[in-house]
């Protein structure tokens, strides 16, 4: 297993940090994504971590699977009887799903973020939902706080310096996926920002119907 920062050593540490970071809006982070997903669909949660989207928003109403490269998260999912596949999105194709979700992970793939979003679209038959923090401790004006934040979030792929703001997130998707954007919305608390993309357009274009 690749070397990770402390935050990714196990599910308990990760969830404890996220609960502290998001406070009373912790559950809303996942419920806001779940609100965009209808009952009975097949969902693929990319970089799923401890499967909080499943446990807090989708349990019992969607055919859920996750993918992650972190063995600790994969083992934690097995204890929850949740299917999580050991898969590296940078190098391997995605399993098919109706809805493909990525939460709080797109920054990890900069500068290859378009390649990753294209792959999410290719794996979805309906919608892609991407939620990303746009208020980040790594952007703090305090250099010590920002340095600690930047170097505590390595899931095994290396430390990433760049983070999205609301403006850069909107600009990236508007420049590259304007025809597919269905909505932008904030998660309660204002820390995370969501975009919903229509993947059906991608399928129709590939089939020559657009």
- pLDDT value, residue 11: 77
Answer yes or no: is pLDDT of 79 > 80.
Answer: yes
Q: What is the pLDDT of residues 87-115, one digit of tens each?
A: 999 999 999 999 999 999 999 999 999 99
Does domain 6-206 fall under CATH 3.40.50.720? My reply is no
Answer yes or no: is pLDDT of 145 > 50.
Answer: no
Domain ranges of the chain: 6-206
Helix (H), strand (E) counts: the chain: 8, 7
CA dist 180 and 80 (Å) reads: 35
Q: Which residue would you say has higher pLDDT here, 72 or 176?
A: 176
In this structure, how many other beta carbons lie within 10 angstroms of the beta carbon of residue 72?
A: 19
Average pLDDT of span 181-185: 98
Q: Which residue would you say has higher pLDDT here, 46 or 203?
A: 46
159 pLDDT band, cuts 50/70/90, is low
In this structure, how many other beta carbons lie within 10 angstroms of the beta carbon of residue 47?
A: 23
- pLDDT value, residue 141: 53
Least Cα distance to 68 among 47, 90, 82, 83 occurs for: 47
Mean pLDDT score of the chain: 87
Is the Cβ–Cβ distance between 53 and 47 less than 8 Å? no
């Amino acid at each position: 297993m690749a070397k990770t920062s402390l935050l990714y050593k196990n599910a308990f540490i990760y969830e404890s940090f996220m609960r502290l970071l998001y406070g009373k809006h912790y559950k809303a982070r996942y419920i806001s994504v779940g609100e965009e997903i209808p009952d009975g669909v097949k969902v693929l949660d990319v970089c799923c971590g401890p499967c909080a989207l499943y446990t807090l928003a989708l349990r019992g109403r969607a055919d859920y699977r996750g993918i992650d490269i972190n063995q600790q998260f994969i083992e934690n999912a097995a204890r929850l009887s949740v299917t999580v596949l050991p898969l590296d999105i940078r190098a391997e194709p995605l399993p098919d799903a109706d809805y493909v979700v990525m939460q709080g992970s797109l920054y990890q793939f900069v500068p290859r973020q378009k390649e990753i979003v294209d792959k999410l679209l290719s794996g979805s038959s309906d919608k892609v939902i991407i939620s990303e923090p746009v208020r980040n401790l790594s952007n703090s004006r305090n250099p010590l706080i920002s340095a600690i934040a930047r170097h505590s979030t390595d899931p095994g792929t290396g430390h990433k310096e760049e983070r999205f703001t609301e403006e850069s997130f909107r600009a990236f998707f508007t420049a590259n996926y304007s025809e597919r954007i269905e909505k932008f919305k904030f998660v309660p608390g204002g820390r995370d920002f969501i975009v919903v993309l229509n993947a059906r357009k991608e399928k129709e274009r590939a089939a020559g119907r657009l």
